Structure 1
């Protein structure tokens, strides 16, 4: 599984189509390597009075021009990515994946003028189930069946 938690101000990702476009891009990134049913994206709106960076609410209603740093009126997007179905096997693969994530996020976040940050963690595959089932081994015939049916099956 890949789980993307996208924390964002309510003034961003306001429409279902904006969310769907990013979710589709993320799913396409992973679907080359894992079944699409393993890809989960959660959009989590966080009010500006609950979203702080450097001790400053983001976005803030008015900039404090006396303070250095980014413009606090600009929305800040924070993405937490957990990879479980596959781990990145080498430093080179990690660099390539970071570049791919940057490319996916660019039109939805960077090009919108938002400030942003993300991190990726890899979780032990042995502590994961879908529908109460342990997912089949990577690349196995059973996993191909799950991918073809786009659901966990016994």
Structure 2
């Protein structure tokens, strides 16, 4: 599950642009790490004037993207570099090309600290995870003992 939190000035994105960006993020995650679509959550935080400061100064042109990942871990420098390059390319039309200053980072949470509707998510790339992806929802199943 990647949880994307996008902190932006008020009215930086229209409702349609939010929908387009959320779809681009979701598709990027599905394409890059082959996860079920419903794992991807995008939350927009519109920051009113004088509520976002960079370097101690109020800003109205800054977008901060925070991504918490769980379903897949980026285990090598090469994977992390590819993820960052892919992410920056995907975000560019919404952020960079519109002249915003911006910053992004990823945090990784261990899978054993994650549940979906009280269910332990199935192992990556397993038949059960493929079923979750096909159905686009969590499906209860028998969890094997560790």
Aligned pair count reads 138
Deviations 1:105-151 (A, max 9, x none): 10000011111001111111100011111110101111011000000
Q: How does 1:8-19 map to 2 (within 5 A)?
A: 8-13=8-13, 15-19=14-18
- Of 79, 97, 104, which residue of structure 1 is paired with 2:83? 97
TM-score (norm 1): 0.87
Tell me, yes or no, if structure 1 residue 127 matches structure 2 residue 113. Answer: yes
Pairing 1:65-80 to 2, within 5 Å after superposition:
75-80=61-66
For the residues of structure 1 that align with 2:44 and 2:7, how far apart are their CA atoms? 6
2:11 and 2:28 map into 1 onto residues whose CA distance is 26
Larger of the two Rg values belongs to structure: 1
In 2, Cα distance between equivalents of 1:91 and 1:125: 20
**2:121 counterpart SS class:** coil
Deviation at 1:42, TM superposition (A): 0.2
Q: Point out where structure 2 has 5 or more consecutive residues left out of the alignment.
A: 141-146
Q: Secondary structure at the match of 1:8?
A: strand
Flag as ranges the 4+ runs of structure 1 deviating above 2 A.
none
Tell me the secondary structure at the aligned position of residue 50 of structure 2: helix
Tell me the residue number matched to 2:46.
45
The unaligned stretches of length 5 or more in structure 1 are 60-74
Kindly report which structure 2 residues correspond to 1:22-37, keeping only aligned pairs within 5 A, or say none: 22-32=21-31, 33-37=34-38
Distance 1:90 1:53 in 2: 31
TM-score (normalised: structure 2):
0.92
Compute the RMSD of aligned alpha carbons: 0.8
